[in-house]
Amino acid sequence: MKPLLKIANVSKSFGSVEALIDVNLEVHAGEILGLLGDNGAGKSTLIKILSGVYSADQGQFEFDGRRVDLNTPSAAQRIGIATVYQDLSLVNTRPVAHNIFLGREPRRWGWILDQRKMEKDAQVILERLRIQLPSVAVDVEVLSGGQRQAVAVARSIAQSSQLLLLDEPWASLGVEQTQKVRLLMKDLRSHGVAIILITHDLSEIISDTDRIAVLRQGRLVGYTKSSQTTQHEIIGWITGAVKGEIRQEEKLQ
Amino acid sequence: MKMVLIKRQGSWTILGLLATLLILAITFTLASPYFLTHKNFLNIGQAISIRGIIAIGLTIVMITGGLDLSIAAVAAAAGMIAATLINNHVDGTTAALVGLLGAAVLGAINGTIVVRLHINPIIATLGTLLFFRGLAFVISGGANIVIGVNTWSSLGRGFLFGIPVSLIFFLLLIILSYLIMRYSVTGNYLYAIGGNSQACRNAGIKVDFLRYSTYIVTAIFAGLAGLILMSQSGTALPIALSGAELDIIAAVILGGISLSGGRGSLFGTFLGVLIIGVINNGLILSGVPIYWQLVARGFILIVAVTLDGLRRGGGYR
């Protein structure tokens, strides 16, 4: 099966610090890839490169079989890569519908906001994702942490994204809200959306993901199907206590 | 409960302002027989139109999370520029347009300092307040410029259907600005920028360009007010509207525009301007000494800022 995103030989340095060294990765449509590693391993740098915030010093990207450049956030968004940042990047003082369509609002005569269409379309997206909110007209600041996370995800879906980059999606959520986001993530997967999940929470990493990639000191040290590993082994790869393995090496070349 | 409270906060602000206006009207009616008269209402209308027009621009810049303390100085400078040209036999329309252009340039200076150089808007525009006020004095060497009656006089002194033209002008401008802020995509972006500028950047909105533009728009509104003031009195004064910026800021914050941006509406600003206008008028008619009027204006500013802190839930930290 052809990967949705193929990352080949990507490196990035900040001055004398090598943040990423010759990283190869693949993500397939309808799968969740867990991107794991200790602080400073290079996860955030990779995510920022994929979302167009940083440019890679070297390496190539293929998206849906085509070579692509990810030089700016809008270039990444255009090809179908959306990022849900840890701080969610929501405007708390604006209504849900406005947040979902922020920057891509439906318009009439070019400059007037088509409020009715925007609210209707926002409702459709939320229903499709089975996200329950009091209303699309309420300001985001009145929502719970889980509901805000859901709005951030809905926004990326509204961009017709094929690949979602989720950076610590439940870092600030309670148990129940975390479960809701997990269900939402799996629901998106069933709709063919690919997800790269960055998390430090390894408690359910095996069941949350289809594949796991482990970065350590800027290098890809481990890559495996989630079903072929254990939480214990992953912790060993992250800390360096156990030597990592690339278990689908032929796919990463 | 919290949700309902926040959702209705805007409506409560408007209701609170209307109730305040009613209480003030009753109080001043009891205090002075001249308050509740047709002529006095026209006086209030004419008096609020100048500050109201400046308040429109200030509201727009504050919705984005910015602030402009130089508004009154810009108004004075625009009046001085236009008056100088009129006295040098330039026709009124050209003089007015050059005055507005001058105001726009001053706004661009504010925008450059705040947006491009990332200087805190309070500090930046406090500096430009002095700078622009100084320029207004430099233009005439410190003298007032008398232009007398000309084609522009009707803008400041004229009446249409018994209503001051300046008031009609203010009402038209505030309604138009309200509609743009409420229904246009750009207006919604300005609110969003005030709420979370980084989120807007991530969404591809041209945040810096829009913030920069609001300083220019604010200065143009201030310039317009300066021209109307000039035509009202037939004289351009370098000291014109000195200190009025605090009244205008008080009116805007009282009207529900948050100092942190992203909240409020021009309807609230209209009510805030009206309340300040009624207080100023009522205090004069009630024979309250001038120094007590100063105390009252300072008190209103404190109340307005306190209300803003409470609306945002917990004040300033």
Nearest to B6 among A74, A94, A142 (CB): A142
Which residue, A51, A50, A140, is CA-closest to A59?
A50
pLDDT level of residue A35 (50, 70, 90 thresholds): very high
Spatial distance between the Cα atoms of B51 and B47, rounded to a whole number of angstroms: 8
Over chain B, what is the mean pLDDT?
Answer: 90
Domain assignment present for B195: yes
In this complex, is the C-beta atom of B262 within 8 Å of any C-beta atom belonging to chain A? yes
Per the CB < 8 A criterion, the answer to whether B145 and B84 are in contact is yes
Between CA A133 and CA A44, with CA A96 as vertex, the angle to 5 degrees is 100
Domain assignment present for B163: yes
Q: Check residue B161 and give its pLDDT.
A: 87
Domain assignment present for B317: no
CA distances to B56, B129, B130 from B230, rounded to whole Å, are 19, 19, 20
Which residue, A143, A197, A129, A195, is CA-closest to A173?
A143
State both tokens at B206: 């041209």
CATH number of the domain within which B111 lies: 1.10.3470
Report CB contact under 8 Å: B192, A94.
yes
Tell whether the torsion through CA atoms of B51, B55, B57 and B61 is positive or negative.
positive
Spatial distance between the Cα atoms of B317 and B312, rounded to a whole number of angstroms: 11
State in Å, rounded, how far the first CA of chain B is from the last one: 25
pLDDT > 70? residue A46? yes
Our count of domains for chain B comes to 1
Report CB contact under 8 Å: B7, A138.
yes
- Check residues A242 and A196 and name the one with the higher pLDDT: A196
pLDDT level of residue B150 (50, 70, 90 thresholds): low
pLDDT > 60? residue B31? yes
Report CB contact under 8 Å: B202, A89.
yes
The per-residue pLDDT for range A108-119, each reduced to its tens digit, is: 998 999 999 999
Domain assignment present for B156: yes
State both tokens at A233: 């082994």
Residues 6 or more apart whose Cβ sits within 8 Å of residue B56: B173, B174, B177, B221, B266, B269
pLDDT level of residue B237 (50, 70, 90 thresholds): very high
Nearest to A105 among B185, B191, B199 (CB): B185
Per the CB < 8 A criterion, the answer to whether B107 and B220 are in contact is yes
Question: Shortest Cα distance from A85 to chain B (angstroms)?
Answer: 10
pLDDT level of residue B236 (50, 70, 90 thresholds): very high
Its domain, for residue B132, covers: 2-311
Report CB contact under 8 Å: B203, A103.
yes
Burial pattern A148-165, b for ≥16 Cβ within 10 A else e, equals: bbbbbbbbbbbbebbbbb
Length of chain B: 317
pLDDT level of residue B6 (50, 70, 90 thresholds): very low
Least confident range of A153-157, B234-238, B285-289? A153-157
Question: Average pLDDT, stretch A72-86?
Answer: 83
What's the maximum distance between 2 C-alpha atoms anywhere in chain B? 65
- Check residues B193 and A73 and name the one with the higher pLDDT: B193
pLDDT > 80? residue B205? yes
pLDDT > 60? residue B3? no
Q: Check residue A157 and give its pLDDT.
A: 74
Please report which residue ranges of B36-164 form alpha helices under DSSP H. 38-63, 71-87, 92-111, 121-140, 153-157
Q: Check residue B158 and give its pLDDT.
A: 82
